[in-house]
């Protein structure tokens, strides 16, 4: 497949590159050190269109393909992994609203979400339902009739990015019987300040420190019926469909961060001397740099292949999204770790960005489905095939 970029794609990438250099890279270390959630910067990203990357133009977004979106996300991640990762989650929420919300809810929320004036969180994971998301227990029961028709939500969610600082929650809750599995789950758009919602403590995390992560509890939270997204029982399909794109997004964040780490390591070994010679003159380090660059290019191409499959509604798109997420997040972390190693003791200091890159990329192997689950997804889809001749 030919991934040569056209003029429009080059322009998208350049706009993102300039924004990343101007707004993200100079502030990433401070945001990380002080756990700053940069809402004003997110609003400026919204002004650039980066909060509505693949939202149709008719709904106020840029209407980009998933492949085009990866070009922007990669450049943003080079500047600040954590802020970019939140932007991808916000885009995922907006994509769900655009596609599944009622006209009234879409018109009430989406314009401000696309500009970044208001922000969203994606609420799927629970204390007892992480990898096994279909086992979630948060309950939404039907209540009332006529003008009071709606749902009452009870339960809790864990590890919710942006929670407590966002304005709208996309919540997956069980509307079927307790044993109804994936078919009994529905999705809801819930204003974050609705009575009955409480937020847990700000989790102290290894990485992703410039976005808040909290538990969210729902106690008798009343939601109007028109805030349901899609039909009853459609929530798990909506969640998994969103996660296919989310896996590409987080894989792209790994690629962008790895690119930044590779560039930092390249500059360092060219200027740092040991034994009277530049580090770049030692063959062992040349080989390491070569391997890192090869890993990076392979991961980038894997991500772009998966994105193109998703854009074409390829029946195997989910397979390629899982492959890309597993490969790019593993390789991205490896590249960042190797870049730190090339810096020796300096790489372990906060004066250099490598330790932050390592911390931020580590969680990419866990979220949007752990890489162990990605292997399971890939294996099951491969075993369901009659032959493997057309994998490409």
337: tokens are 């770790």
Tell me the CATH class for 236-383: mainly alpha
Nearest to 41 by CA among 60, 55, 22, 54: 22
d(CA 263, CA 284): 18
Taking residues 324-353, report their average pLDDT: 96
Q: For the chain, what are the domain ranges?
A: 7-118, 121-231, 236-383
Confidence of residue 215 (pLDDT cuts 50, 70, 90): very high
| Superfamily the domain 121-231 falls into | Butyryl-CoA Dehydrogenase, subunit A, domain 2 (2.40.110.10)
Nearest to 211 by CA among 203, 219, 200: 203
pLDDT in the model for residue 2: 59
Average pLDDT, the chain: 95
pLDDT in the model for residue 337: 98
Confidence of residue 391 (pLDDT cuts 50, 70, 90): confident
Decide which of 147 and 50 is more confident: 50
Catalytic residue numbers? 368
- On whether the CB atoms of residues 83 and 24 are closer than 8 A, the answer is yes
What's the pLDDT tens digit per position in 163-187?
Answer: 999 999 999 999 999 999 999 999 9
pLDDT in the model for residue 139: 97
Taking residues 156-162, report their average pLDDT: 97
- On whether the CB atoms of residues 352 and 343 are closer than 8 A, the answer is yes
pTM given for the model: 0.94
206: tokens are 């290894």
pLDDT in the model for residue 389: 78
Q: CATH classification of 7-118, choosing from 1.10.287.110, 1.10.540.10, 1.20.1250.20, 1.10.580.10? A: 1.10.540.10
pLDDT in the model for residue 388: 87
Q: Do domains 7-118 and 236-383 have the same CATH topology?
A: no
- On whether the CB atoms of residues 155 and 80 are closer than 8 A, the answer is no
CA atoms within 13 A on the CB side of 46: 22
pLDDT in the model for residue 281: 85
d(CA 385, CA 48): 43
What's the pLDDT tens digit per position in 37-66?
Answer: 999 999 999 999 999 999 999 999 999 999
């Amino acid at each position: 497949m030919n991934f040569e970029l056209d003029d429009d794609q080059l322009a998208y990438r350049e706009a993102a590159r300039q924004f990343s250099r101007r707004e993200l890279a100079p502030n990433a270390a401070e945001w990380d050190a002080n756990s700053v959630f940069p809402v004003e910067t997110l609003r400026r990203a919204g002004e650039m269109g980066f909060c509505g990357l693949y939202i149709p133009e008719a709904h106020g977004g840029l209407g980009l393909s998933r492949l085009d979106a990866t070009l922007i996300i990669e450049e943003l991640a080079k500047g600040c992994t954590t802020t970019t990762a939140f932007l991808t989650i916000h885009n995922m929420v907006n994509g769900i609203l655009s596609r599944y919300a009622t006209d009234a809810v879409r018109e009430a929320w989406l314009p401000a979400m696309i500009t970044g004036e208001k922000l969203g969180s994606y609420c799927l994971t629970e204390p007892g339902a992480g990898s096994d998301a279909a086992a979630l227990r948060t309950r939404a029961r039907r209540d009332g009739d006529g003008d009071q028709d709606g749902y009452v939500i009870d339960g809790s969610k864990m590890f919710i990015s942006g929670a407590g600082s966002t304005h709208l929650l996309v919540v997956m809750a069980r509307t079927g019987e307790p044993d109804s599995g994936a078919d009994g789950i529905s999705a809801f758009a819930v204003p974050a300040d609705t009575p009955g919602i409480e937020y847990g403590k700000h989790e102290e995390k290894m990485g992703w420190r410039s976005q808040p992560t909290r538990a969210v509890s729902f106690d008798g939270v009343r939601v109007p019926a028109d805030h349901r997204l899609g039909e009853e029982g459609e929530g798990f399909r909506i969640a998994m469909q969103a996660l296919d794109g989310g896996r590409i997004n987080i894989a792209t964040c790994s690629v962008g961060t790895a690119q930044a780490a590779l560039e930092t390591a390249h500059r360092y070994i060219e200027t740092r001397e040991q034994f009277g010679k530049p580090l770049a003159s030692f063959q062992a380090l040349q080989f390491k740099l070569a391997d890192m660059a090869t890993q990076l290019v392979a991961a980038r191409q894997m991500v772009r292949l998966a994105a193109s499959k998703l854009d074409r509604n390829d029946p195997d798109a989910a397979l390629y999204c899982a492959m890309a997420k597993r490969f790019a997040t593993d390789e991205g972390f490896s590249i960042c770790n190797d870049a730190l190693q090339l810096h020796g003791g300096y790489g372990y200091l906060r004066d250099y960005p490598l330790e932050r890159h390592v911390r931020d990329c580590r969680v990419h192997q866990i979220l949007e489905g752990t890489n162990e689950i990605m292997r399971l997804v890939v294996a099951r889809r491969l075993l369901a095939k009659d032959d493997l001749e057309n994998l490409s």
